[in-house]
Structure formats: C-alpha cells, structure tokens
Chains A and B, each alone.
Chain A
Amino acid sequence: MRESQFQEPNRFFLNMGPQHPSTHGVLLVVLEMDGEYVLDPQPVLGFIHRMHEKMGESRPCQGFMPNTARMDYVCALPYNHGYVSLIERKAGIEVPKRAEYIRVITSELNRVASHLLWLGAYLLDLGAFTPILYGFDDREHILDILEDVTGSRLTYCYYRFGGVYRDIDDKFVEATRAFIKRLRKRYDIYEKLVTKNIIFIKRAENIGIISPDMAIRYGITGPNLRGSGIAYDIRKNEPYSVYPEFDFEVPVGERGDCLDRYMVRVREMEQSLRIVEQALDTLPDGPVRSKVPKKIKLAPGDCNFAVEAARGELSYYLVGDGTSVPYRLKIRVPSYSNLSCLPELGEGILLPDLVSIMGSLDLVIPEIDR
C-alpha cells in the first residue's frame, strides 16, 4: 500500500484488522512498528462503505430516513434527529412541542445506551471481560424502553418530518423513571469495578493526549474534545430542538488523555439522565405530529444542520433543487474526524496503548465508512 520505509532492519508492518478484536468492526490499521513500539499507524477505511450519500441523492427525502439509523447503529436516534431537523429547517416544517420533548428524551436515552456500550467495549479492549456484560445489562433496559415506543431495538426509524412516529405513554414514563433510578444505583458498581481500579487508571492515564490545538486541526468533537478541556457541545453551543430549556452541564476533562475521555463520558451519562428527568417532568401535552405534505419540496439552496451525536458533531449538509429529492446530501460524521488523528496520536507508543487510545476514541466503523 505504501512505499517501504525500512531504513532500519528492525522495522516491520503489522496489519491490525480488519478482523482484530479491538478494532470494533472492519477497520484495518496498518502499523509500522519497531518491536512493540508503533511508529506510524495508518487506518485503512472503506471495508463497509455503502455510499449513503449517493442513496440520499437518489430517492425522495422521506426514503432516506431508515438509512440514517444505519450509520451509527449504536446511537441511531441523534442521527434520525439531525436528518429530520435538517429537512424541517429546509422545508420550514413546524414541530409540535411534545414531539420535540419526546425526541430529546429518546435521543438522550440512546446516548446513555451508547456510552454504556462504549464503557464495556473499552474495558474489553483493556482486557476486562465483565464490565461489558454489566453495561449490556443496563443497556438492555434502555433498549426495551425504546423498543416499546419505536418498535425496533437498534436501527430506529422513529422520528418523522414534523414529529415522531408514535406518542409515548405512561408506561414509557414509568419505565424510564425506573431506569434512571436503577442506573444511578449502578454507578457504584462501575466506580468500584472500573473507575477506581488501579490497573485501569494506569492503562488510561496520560495515554493518547489530545491537545486543544490538535482537536482544532483534526476537527475532533464530542467527548473526545471535551476530554481536552474544551466545553463544546452542540446542544449548548448551537442549541437545537428544546435543549435550551433544560439545565445540564457539559463535563470537561483537564489533560485530554484516555482517562479524561472516560470520565467525560461517564459524567455525561448522568447529565443525559438529568435532561431526561427534566423533560419527563415538564412534558407538554398536545399532538406529536404536525401536518406535513406527502411530498416535501426542497427549495433551491443549501442548508446545514448540526446535532450532538454520542461521538461528537454530526452535520447534515443538504443542497436542494426544488424537487423532493436532495440534490446533494453530505453527512459529516464525528468518528471520521476523530479517527483521523490516530496517525499523530499513535506515534511512538506501545501497541497496548494504541489499543487503549482506539478504544477511548469510541469508534463506530459503519459510521466512518458510511
């Protein structure tokens, strides 16, 4: 693939992936190594490239809805959210308040589910087998709650232009409140098993430091950025939906190492729960879907909509041409930019640290490959 750089006899290439346990999917990282030291890790993408952007340009905008859930399947609802909001912005569709509340509640629950899965997967990368099962145990409750209202467990297609597919009921509210209570009780387990564990701390502390300047140069967003001490959250900085109505904090780290990224995500779960609680308390009555024409015309001109997905900034950029089929649909996925810093981040470190860094970046490969 690349020119041989073997000036020194000790150097060699190692293919990590596409079927490696810690690349979380079909990602190949070609490592140039000297002993156990990684000199130059180069990710090779595109193993599950599906050209979602072309699909977006070849069918009416309603038809693209199911695709949005199939990029980041771990946290699909914010992807739904970004897309419906984009079309609503473009076509000037009003959304009932209740629908926006429901969107926020379900998106935040999905974010917690995503972080729980990440927590387990990261620990699995570090060699601990048990936390992922505990994470799954909690996550399963969220999936049950979401399944009851959305009808699917993972690749949701729940939001609709101008509202949501189905209204939530008392059962949903009750189950969600019960879940919030349950997860708060479980923090203690995670803290004792993982957060305070000396082996874990030693594996994550001072590893893979992302400086704020580096974040700017690579466009790193989401918890990976907030770990570096920059409180940048689209929900706060570029408020969309009804997020401005809720009181929540944006947790930040200090050094920008793997441990900070871990702590940011763990604290973000609590903030998401807070948002869900407030939204449930102040849930307005009313319709969940406004009247939307069967065929939505996208006026000429471009339009952008950014949302905070679990992994960072997700931007949809659409160019309309007056028909109902988008002329151009660009999807800016967070993991793509987050991963692109790996060659710089992984220079001259040990192989186990590279695994730790890749785990802490929270990569979802189908999202990167699109």
Chain B
Amino acid sequence: MEIISTLPPELIRMVFAVIIIISFIFLNAIMMGYLERKIAGHVQRRPGPMEVGSHGILQLVVDGVKLVGKELLVPVNVDRTLFRLGPILSFTPVILPLLVIPFSEKLQARDLNLGLLFIVSMTSINVMAILVAGWGSNNKYSMFGAMRAVAQSIAYEIPILLSMLAVVLMANTFSLKEIVGAQQKIWFILLQPLAFIIYIISGVAETNRAPFDLPEAESELTAGFHTEYSGMGFSLFFLGEYTNMFTVASVATVLFLGGWHGPTLPYGEYLGIVWFFLKVYFLLFFMIMIRWTYPRVRFDQLLNFAWKYLVPFSLVNILITAVVIKL
C-alpha cells in the first residue's frame, strides 16, 4: 500500500484507465460481434444466433473460447517473426486512441491538447499490421490484401484529415474535450454536414468494412490478409477491427454529434457517457447496415472515389469553412 501512495496519482489513474479500456475492448467486440450477426440475420429474414443463451446472447463468448482454444498454426515458409507480429500490431495500437476520447465531461483518461492528431496517428498503425501480416503470411492472397490495404489507407487518410480539419477550424483546437465543449449550443453536424458525410465514408473505408472491405474481400481473396491465421491470431484481427470501428464512431461523435451533450441527466458530468454511447452505437448500427446492403466496390473505383470525389469535396469544404470563419 505504501508503494502505491508513493506513486504519482496520475500514473495510477492511467493504469486504471488502461485496464478499464482493455476490458471494454473485449466487451465491445463481443457486443459488436453479436449485434452484427443478429442484424445480419434479421436483415436477411433469419434469426441469427439463437442457440447459446437466450437469443444466442452468449454466442460470441463461446466463439471466443473456441478461438482461444484453437491451435495457433504457423504455416511453413512464412516469416515467423512478422507472422506473429501482425496480430499483435493490429491489436495494440487500437487501445491507445481510446485513452484520449472524452466519454463524458469527466470521464477521460487524459486530455491531450493534440488529441485528434494522436488518434489519427494511432489508427494509421493498423494498416502497418495488415501489411506485416500479409507479407509475413507468404501467401499471394494475403499479399494482395496487404497491398490493397496500404493503397486504400493512403487514399482515405487524406479526406479523413481534411474533414477533421474543417471541425478543427470551427472549434479552433485539437483537444477533443474542447471540441465537444464547442458544440454546447449546436452540433457540428449541422454546420459541417459535408464533412460529416466525408468522414463517415472515409471512416468505413479506413476500418476496412464492406463495401470497402478490399483487404479481406472474401469472394476475391478468400480472406485476404488473414487467410493464414487461426485461433487467437485471427481473433486479434477481429478485435482490432471492431475496436477500430468503435474509435471511428467515437471520433465522429466527438467531432460532429456533440459528444456527451444531450438532454440533461443527473450527474451529467459522468452520465453524459450514456448519450455518448447511444450516438456511437447508432453510428455503428449504421455501419453494420451498410455492410449487409451493398456489394463491394472494385479497387480502382475505391481509389477513384477517394481522389475524384472525397478529396476535392473536402478541400472545397475547408476553403468555404475558412472563408466563413474569417468573415
């Protein structure tokens, strides 16, 4: 106990935050996996998982146990170091962005004054993981997936940044807490609808979700970059994907949907998290619906769309924003 009291309180706070966030990541992946399968089921007029627990609510827990229990296969002739590094690299950086996201006024692990930049830099490590996994697998399909992921990521980082920049111009800060604070009166989605749309589209592309799921394009590349992975290796990618989705949705909430703002609740500075989560999961629901509705775009169409539509529109948007603010 004495050692703890000698530690700086900030460190203890961070350790707690990391523990909470890691457990939340697992919970989120389980919830998202369940939601995705249930929604997919109902969209397709079938019930989805029904067997484990009431309405299959424990299905993902069981699946997780199964995945953990599976043998970790390392195929011959792969680059062992990179092959093992891939999943870890995909999982680790996704924890970090959650540290700076303000879930409510007082629920934030750490408010960085460059929080937005921190998130952007951390989420882009994910593509590194895909590249490492694809290269290390020594499989042509995996390699295709990796190359696609890199090109896709480069193309979509730019409109994401530009659409964020429009908000930053409005709020005049990079700190997420202050951006939310600036939306006290009016949410930025009303002032920046174009930026919001661009952000959501690029965000879906950034998380490699359908219709932009080219790195794993099932019907073309069997499973893309994670073709060779089994058991925990696969599930870390799975965790990474869902956490990334959560991050993208939370950032959208922070930037455009007024973060924790909503009708006043008791203990508002803490319970704002309710509003925050409602907004995030609404966006996630939307992302899931998209996946189960549209066909996959082709690779060059994806890049064309980014360079011909998203980048010019976001540039125009910034220009207009800047001019209006200056006036």
Taking Cβ atoms with an 8 Å cutoff, the residues of A that contact B are 12, 14, 20-22, 36, 123-130, 133-134, 137, 193, 197, 199-200, 202-203, 350-353, 355
B63 proximal to A (CB < 8 A): no
Contact of B44 among A14, A134, A353 (CB under 8 A): A134
Contact of B298 among A14, A128, A193, A203 (CB under 8 A): A203
Supply 4 further A-B pairs (C-beta < 8 A) apart from A126-B296, A127-B219, A202-B301: A127-B218, A197-B294, A202-B297, A203-B296
Give Cα distance in the complex from A199 to B212, angstroms. 11
Contact A128 B293, beta carbon cutoff 8 Å: yes
Contact of A129 among B40, B144, B220 (CB under 8 A): B40
Known: A125-B219, A202-B301, A351-B220. A130 touches B296 (CB 8 A): no
Contact A21 B297, beta carbon cutoff 8 Å: no
Contact A355 B295, beta carbon cutoff 8 Å: no
A83 to chain B, nearest CB (A): 34
Give Cα distance in the complex from A197 to B45, angstroms. 21
B160 proximal to A (CB < 8 A): no
Taking Cβ atoms with an 8 Å cutoff, the residues of B that contact A are 40, 43-46, 140-141, 144, 147, 210-211, 213, 217-220, 222, 291-301
Q: What are 14 A-B contacts with C-beta separation under 8 Å?
A: A21-B218, A21-B219, A22-B220, A36-B144, A36-B147, A126-B295, A127-B295, A127-B296, A129-B40, A133-B46, A197-B294, A199-B211, A202-B301, A352-B296
Give Cα distance in the complex from A257 to B256, angstroms. 42
Contact of A14 among B140, B294, B301 (CB under 8 A): B140
Interface SS majority for chain A = helix
Give Cα distance in the complex from A126 to B293, angstroms. 12
**Nearest 3 Cβ contacts at the A-B interface:** A127-B296, A133-B44, A128-B295
Contact B44 A352, beta carbon cutoff 8 Å: no
Contact of A127 among B44, B140, B217 (CB under 8 A): B217
Give Cα distance in the complex from A147 to B140, angstroms. 44
Contact of B299 among A21, A123, A126, A350 (CB under 8 A): A350
Count chain A CB atoms within 10 A of each CB in B43, B213, B219, B293 and give the residue with the most.
B219
B301 (CB) vs chain A CBs: closest residue: A202
Contact A352 B295, beta carbon cutoff 8 Å: no
Contact A199 B294, beta carbon cutoff 8 Å: yes
B241 to chain A, nearest CB (A): 16
Residues on B with beta carbons closer than 8 Å to the beta carbon of A134: 44-45
Contact A203 B295, beta carbon cutoff 8 Å: yes
Contact B144 A203, beta carbon cutoff 8 Å: no
A354 (CB) vs chain B CBs: closest residue: B220
A150 to chain B, nearest CB (A): 26
Contact A350 B295, beta carbon cutoff 8 Å: no
Contact A126 B144, beta carbon cutoff 8 Å: no
Give Cα distance in the complex from A14 to B227, angstroms. 15
B211 (CB) vs chain A CBs: closest residue: A199
Give Cα distance in the complex from A128 to B294, angstroms. 5
Residues on B with beta carbons closer than 8 Å to the beta carbon of A355: 219-220
Contact A123 B295, beta carbon cutoff 8 Å: yes
Give Cα distance in the complex from A353 to B217, angstroms. 13
B285 to chain A, nearest CB (A): 16
Contact of B297 among A129, A133, A203 (CB under 8 A): A203
B300 (CB) vs chain A CBs: closest residue: A350
Residues on A with beta carbons closer than 8 Å to the beta carbon of B211: 127, 199
Residues on B with beta carbons closer than 8 Å to the beta carbon of A128: 293-296
Contact B217 A352, beta carbon cutoff 8 Å: yes
B291 (CB) vs chain A CBs: closest residue: A129
Give Cα distance in the complex from A193 to B290, angstroms. 12
B140 (CB) vs chain A CBs: closest residue: A14
Count chain B CB atoms within 10 A of each CB in A36, A129, A202 and give the residue with the most.
A129
A128 to chain B, nearest CB (A): 4
Known: A129-B292, A199-B294. A36 touches B299 (CB 8 A): yes
A14 (CB) vs chain B CBs: closest residue: B140
Known: A127-B213, A355-B219. A199 touches B45 (CB 8 A): no
Residues on A with beta carbons closer than 8 Å to the beta carbon of B301: 202-203
Residues on B with beta carbons closer than 8 Å to the beta carbon of A203: 295-298, 301
Contact A12 B140, beta carbon cutoff 8 Å: yes
